[in-house]
Amino acid sequence: MAFDVFGLRDHVVREYREYVESFIHIRDKRVEQFVQSMLARGELWPDAVLQLNPAYELAGTLADLAADGVIGKETARFFGPDIRLYRHQAEAITAAKKNEPYLVCTGTGSGKSLTYLVPIVDHVLKNNPDDHSVRALLVYPTNALINSQLKALHDFKKNWPDCSLRFHRYTGQDRGEDRDRILINPPHILLTNYVMLEYMLNPSGGALASASGNARSEIPRCG
């Protein structure tokens, strides 16, 4: 049975109009006439808007990219070889493979994170992952996004629990032993915000400045 979304909209508007009119009592006839004309024109409820959610064009899987030599098999194993990519994801990962800059501008839920996470992870796994040094900084505007991305990385690692890839966040939420652990044993991927990034880069005592004598940082160009 088809769902009549426009009929639902008319029903809601009708009930809302009855509710509004129930407490409108205007003694001046001219004002009442004006208000009623505005209600009749629908000033309080705009016309219905129909929007379409575009479907992104599909591409191959991570296993396909690994078979084509775009990424390593270990990278596909980390994320899950059966993950089906969108075309914009595959194109971005291919651009990263060629060391070309790129910009991904798509809607929410389009998998933008994979367009930079896959190349970064691929870079780490192909370049001495046993060397514990910061290879990439992921800078986010809010801690909520950092926590969400960190959870996603932990979920991906369930595909390969013994993977040598290491990642950690560095925000105001992390203090004491957590910060010391980053200095002593830097992760490959560090997730932070712009405030903490400024602190880390501060020569007077930032984390990266302090760790620079112990570890070499490599930040690949992933757009």
Q: What is the mean pLDDT of residues 46-73?
A: 89
35 shares a domain with 66: no
**pLDDT for position 214:** 40
> Is 217 domain-assigned?
no
Number of folded domains in the chain?
2
178 shares a domain with 68: yes
62-76, 98-112, 160-174, 189-203: which range is least confident on average? 189-203
129 shares a domain with 198: yes
Under the banding of pLDDT at 50, 70 and 90, the label for residue 221 is very low
Whether this prediction's pTM lies above 0.85 is answered by no
> Is 218 domain-assigned?
no
Q: Does position 59 have pLDDT exceeding 90, yes or no?
A: yes
> Is 222 domain-assigned?
no
- Name every residue whose Cβ is closer than 8 Å to that of residue 146 and which is 6 or more positions away in sequence: 138, 140, 169, 171, 191, 192, 193
Q: Does position 200 have pLDDT exceeding 80, yes or no?
A: no
Q: Does position 75 have pLDDT exceeding 60, yes or no?
A: yes
Structural domain for 166, as ranges: 58-211
**pLDDT for position 87:** 96
159 shares a domain with 116: yes
pLDDT greater at residue 216 or residue 127:
127
Q: What is the mean pLDDT of residues 199-222?
A: 50
127 shares a domain with 189: yes
CATH number for the domain that contains residue 160: 3.40.50.300
41 shares a domain with 101: no
39 shares a domain with 6: yes
99-113 pLDDT, tens digit per residue, is 999 999 988 889 999
> Is 129 domain-assigned?
yes
Give the integer Cα–Cα distance in Å for 112 and 106: 7
